[in-house]
Structure 1
Amino acid sequence: MTSIKARRLGGFVAAAALGLALLSGCGGEGSQTDCNLNSCTVTFDRGVNASVSVLGVDAKLVNVQNSQATLEIAGQQVTVPVGQDAQSEGFNISVQEITADNVVVKISAA
């Protein structure tokens, strides 16, 4: 009986750790993420090859020109002006802020 409880506890701990990993998003190069179950806010560093894997897709900052960012979401490029939304590959993409150092993007399930 004790071994059954230990296995259940072990399974619970593993499931909790997986859940926390999913909520925090997956890491990437030149980026930081803040995720919940349906969306992730990604801060891409400018001037580097910034990419991240979130919500089951790869996202990459391709280019920033004036007040719009070009991103690659699941292999498809989309250009989004700051403060506006676009859709790509079943995701809503919103560019929230562009600074000299960073680009802040919200990616959410459509």
Structure 2
Amino acid sequence: MRYRRLIALSVLAVLVPLGATACTAEGPGSKTECQVSGCTITFDRGVDAKASVLGMDAELVAVNGSTATLRVAGQEVSVPVGETQPADGTSVTVQEITTDTVVVRIATGLQGN
């Protein structure tokens, strides 16, 4: 019985910090998943898609072929799929563009994806 309690407490100690470091939210035309390292936003195409992450607003402005144009904290940036561009102290990476969605990773600092 004592070992079960110790195991249960150990599992709880590991899971509680993980739950506190990740969150998911949905906004107009977007779904956001955040962790300590940054946020992944799935924007719906063809709508006024916006999200608020890391204390700033992010908006899908346009898609031209394999390049997405986004407005991050008021700064417009065009990013080809698989590449990273800086925007207002963050790094913006376009991970995927489909006919329905654009998946973008916004991270603090200027690290890559």
**Counterpart of 2:22 in 1: which secondary structure?**
helix
**Counterpart of 1:83 in 2: which secondary structure?**
coil
Normalising to structure 1: TM-score of the pair?
0.78
Equivalence for 2:100: 101
8 A contact 2:96–2:103 mirrored in 1:
yes
Q: CA RMSD in A?
A: 1.6
8 A contact 1:30–1:51 mirrored in 2:
yes
Aligned-residue identity in percent: 51
Letter in 2 for 1:83: G
Q: How far does residue 25 in structure 1 lie from its aligned partner after superposition?
A: 5.0
Superposition misfits of 4+ residues, deviation over 6 angstroms: none
8 A contact 1:31–1:43 mirrored in 2:
yes
Q: Distance in 2 between matches of 1:33 and 1:97?
A: 15
Q: Mind listing any 5+ residue stretches in structure 2 that lack a counterpart?
A: 1-15
Per-residue deviation, residues 38-59 of structure 1 (Å, max 9, x unmatched): 2001000000000000011100
Q: Mind listing any 5+ residue stretches in structure 1 that lack a counterpart?
A: 1-15
Equivalence for 1:10: none
Equivalence for 2:77: 78
Q: How far does residue 24 in structure 1 lie from its aligned partner after superposition?
A: 1.3
Equivalence for 2:38: 39
